[in-house]
């Protein structure tokens, strides 16, 4: 079979599946079950760029980006893939298969930001679509959490449980921070850690929890309009009987150029743009980028081989998303999906990490994840595994300078 014919057959199949998904919201449940198997949990994603549309529909490579944006603007929710390999951990269903779905809300990140009200309506429709598939707990990926006020907008509009993914994401970030310090062979208490987006929904709790690790210096950075919130956060972190960090070690900034002071940078903004430029970083800097769309770029990686950009990703042994995320390891998952998987395995049906950040959930979801063998995925940069040579190069910036040998004087 020729490559062109194979591609044409694949495209026809994708179009037929899209027609099926268009009908699902209007069909009674018993007919839906004839078309698709029941899912115990669901995970919402959305295209962040044209390349994401091409992951689902390869023929999109042959049409203009403007045309694609118009098409996805009008598309209904779609099934992305069926997630397999997860086993139940609850007493009644221990080790029994628990399968779910990746469900696509077909609005791009740009479209969501341009029309937040439309974004909320479309995300709600996608959650209702997942309900029709049988999902009892639904996780919010990428911007779907922030666009629905951390999921609270959805909580009284659907019967299924909702989780934002923020608890497990925070857990993985904290674990990565420890692993990076270990990689550098440095005590975190001697390093400067910056949180970019520190005043945001994720940035605030992440900053507080990082402060409990007592880094040498904690740099809180956000936009000028959030300066008051940053100062309030810094004061609360520094107060006695709270995080107990010396005030002089907590610094507030609204100038992204101050990233140059940081050894490790945690990026948790909601910006749609690449905001970290090569000039903003010191040699040896390590960036943990949890943004979607990304605030770092491949250009940064190419222009600054003396820094290390790490993707914030988890590993879920024996679980397969069956979706083309381009991960180097098949069992890798986004951290917010990791949270959904952990709850799905427990047959969770209530809301989980919604609204005001609940710090207790970070320890809880981390413990549950460890019991299932979940954890930090092997380090990678834009889905390319980090080599030992790269790690060793970064480590050189943290090793003490060699002391010159003393030479005796001959008279």
Is 321 a member of any domain? no
Same structural domain, 118 and 213: no
Q: Does residue 104 contact residue 79 with C-beta atoms inside 8 Å?
A: yes
Same structural domain, 119 and 183: no
Q: Which of 161-165, 207-211, 240-244, 298-302 has the lowest mean pLDDT?
A: 240-244
At 21-63, the pLDDT tens digits run: 999 999 999 999 999 999 999 999 999 877 777 666 766 677 7
Q: Please enumerate in sequence order all residues whose Cβ is within 8 A of that of 218, keeping only pairs 6 or more positions apart, or say none.
A: 192, 193, 194, 195, 207, 210, 211, 237, 245, 249, 250, 251
Same structural domain, 305 and 236: yes
Q: 329: which 2 tokens?
A: 């390891």
Is 284 a member of any domain? yes
**Cα 31 from Cα 202, distance rounded (Å):** 41
Q: Does residue 222 contact residue 229 with C-beta atoms inside 8 Å?
A: yes
Residue 11 above 70 pLDDT? Answer: no
Q: Going edge to edge, which strands form the sheet with 161-163?
A: 78-83, 100-104, 41-45, 137-140, 161-163
Report helix, strand or coil for 193: strand
Between vectors from CA 319 to CA 313 and to CA 323, what angle results, nearest 5°?
70
**pLDDT class for 5, splitting at 50, 70, 90?**
low
Task: Kindly state the helix (H) or strand (E) to which residue 142 belongs, with its residue range.
Answer: none
Residue 346 above 90 pLDDT? Answer: yes
Same structural domain, 113 and 202: no
**Cα 336 from Cα 339, distance rounded (Å):** 5
Higher local confidence (pLDDT), 14 or 133: 133
Chain mean pLDDT for the chain: 91
User: Closest Cα partner for 23 from 74, 76, 65, 62?
Assistant: 76
Q: Does residue 25 contact residue 32 with C-beta atoms inside 8 Å?
A: no
Tokens 């929904």, residue? 201
At 89-147, the pLDDT tens digits run: 987 778 899 999 999 999 999 899 999 999 999 999 999 999 999 999 999 999 999 99
Q: Show which of 343, 362, 387 is a domain's final residue.
A: 343
Is 391 a member of any domain? yes
Report helix, strand or coil for 324: coil
Q: Identify the domain containing residue 145 by its residue range.
A: 11-166+335-343
Is 348 a member of any domain? no
Give the number of other CB atoms < 10 A from CB of residue 383.
13
Mean pLDDT value of segment 14-22: 87
Residue 403 above 80 pLDDT? Answer: no
Residue 411 above 50 pLDDT? Answer: no
At 62-80, the pLDDT tens digits run: 777 788 888 888 889 999 9
Same structural domain, 37 and 181: no
Q: Please enumerate in sequence order all residues whose Cβ is within 8 A of that of 146, keeping only pairs 6 or more positions apart, or say none.
A: 201, 270
**Cα 195 from Cα 220, distance rounded (Å):** 5
Q: Please enumerate in sequence order all residues whose Cβ is within 8 A of that of 193, keeping only pairs 6 or more positions apart, or say none.
A: 177, 210, 215, 217, 218, 219, 262, 263, 264, 265, 266
Same structural domain, 158 and 235: no
Is 137 a member of any domain? yes
**pLDDT class for 246, splitting at 50, 70, 90?**
low
Same structural domain, 207 and 221: yes
Same structural domain, 200 and 121: no
Is 101 a member of any domain? yes
Which pLDDT score, from 0 to 100, does residue 240 have?
Answer: 54
At 155-213, the pLDDT tens digits run: 999 999 999 999 999 999 999 999 999 999 999 999 999 999 999 989 999 999 999 99
Same structural domain, 132 and 212: no
The CATH number of residue 206's host domain is: 3.40.50.720
Residue 410 above 70 pLDDT? Answer: no
Number of domains the chain contains: 2
Which pLDDT score, from 0 to 100, does residue 324 have?
Answer: 87
Task: Kindly state the helix (H) or strand (E) to which residue 336 belongs, with its residue range.
Answer: helix 335-345
Which pLDDT score, from 0 to 100, does residue 48 have?
Answer: 82
Same structural domain, 256 and 153: no
Is 186 a member of any domain? yes
Is 275 a member of any domain? yes
For the entire predicted model, the pTM comes to 0.92
Mean pLDDT value of segment 246-261: 90
Tokens 């018993």, residue? 30
Query: What proportion of the chain, given as a percentage, has pLDDT over 90?
Result: 77
Same structural domain, 100 and 219: no
What secondary structure letter does DSSP report for 147? G
Same structural domain, 188 and 280: yes
């Amino acid at each position: 079979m020729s490559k062109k014919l194979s591609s044409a057959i694949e495209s026809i199949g994708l179009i037929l599946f899209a027609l099926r998904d268009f009908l699902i919201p209007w069909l009674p449940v018993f007919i839906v079950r004839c078309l698709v198997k029941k899912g115990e949990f669901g995970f919402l994603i959305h295209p962040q760029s044209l390349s994401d549309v091409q992951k689902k529909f390869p023929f999109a490579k042959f049409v203009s980006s403007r045309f694609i944006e118009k098409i996805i603007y009008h598309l209904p929710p779609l099934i992305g893939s069926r997630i397999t390999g997860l086993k139940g951990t609850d007493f009644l269903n221990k080790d029994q298969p628990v399968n779910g779905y990746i469900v696509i809300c077909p609005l791009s990140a740009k479209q969501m930001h341009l029309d937040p009200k439309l974004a909320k309506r479309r995300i709600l429709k996608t959650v209702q679509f997942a309900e029709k598939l049988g999902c009892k707990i639904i996780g919010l990926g990428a911007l779907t959490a922030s666009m629905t006020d951390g999921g609270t907008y959805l909580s009284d509009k659907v019967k299924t449980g909702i989780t934002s993914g923020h608890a497990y994401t925070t857990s993985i970030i904290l674990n990565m921070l420890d692993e990076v310090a270990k990689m550098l062979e440095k005590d975190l208490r001697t390093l400067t850690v910056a949180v970019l987006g520190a005043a945001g929904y994720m940035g605030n709790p992440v900053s507080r929890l990082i402060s409990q690790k007592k880094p040498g210096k904690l740099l809180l950075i956000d936009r000028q309009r959030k300066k008051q919130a940053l100062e309030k956060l810094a004061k609360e972190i520094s107060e006695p009987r709270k995080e107990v960090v010396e005030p002089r070690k907590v610094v507030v900034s609204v100038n992204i150029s101050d990233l140059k002071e940081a050894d490790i940078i945690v990026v948790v903004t909601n910006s749609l743009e690449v905001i970290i430029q090569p000039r903003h970083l010191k040699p040896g800097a390590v960036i943990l980028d949890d943004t979607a769309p990304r605030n770092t770029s491949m250009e940064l990686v190419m222009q600054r081989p003396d820094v290390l950009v790490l993707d914030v990703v988890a590993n879920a042994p024996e679980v397969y998303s069956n979706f083309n995320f381009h991960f180097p390891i098949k069992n890798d998952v986004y951290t917010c999906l990791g949270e959904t998987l952990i709850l799905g395995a427990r047959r969770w049906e209530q809301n989980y990490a919604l609204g005001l950040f609940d710090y207790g959930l970070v320890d809880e979801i981390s413990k549950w994840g460890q019991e299932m063998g979940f954890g930090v995925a092997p380090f990678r940069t834009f889905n390319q595994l980090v080599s030992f040579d790269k790690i060793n190069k970064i480590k050189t910036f943290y090793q003490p300078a060699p002391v010159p040998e003393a030479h005796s004087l001959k008279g």
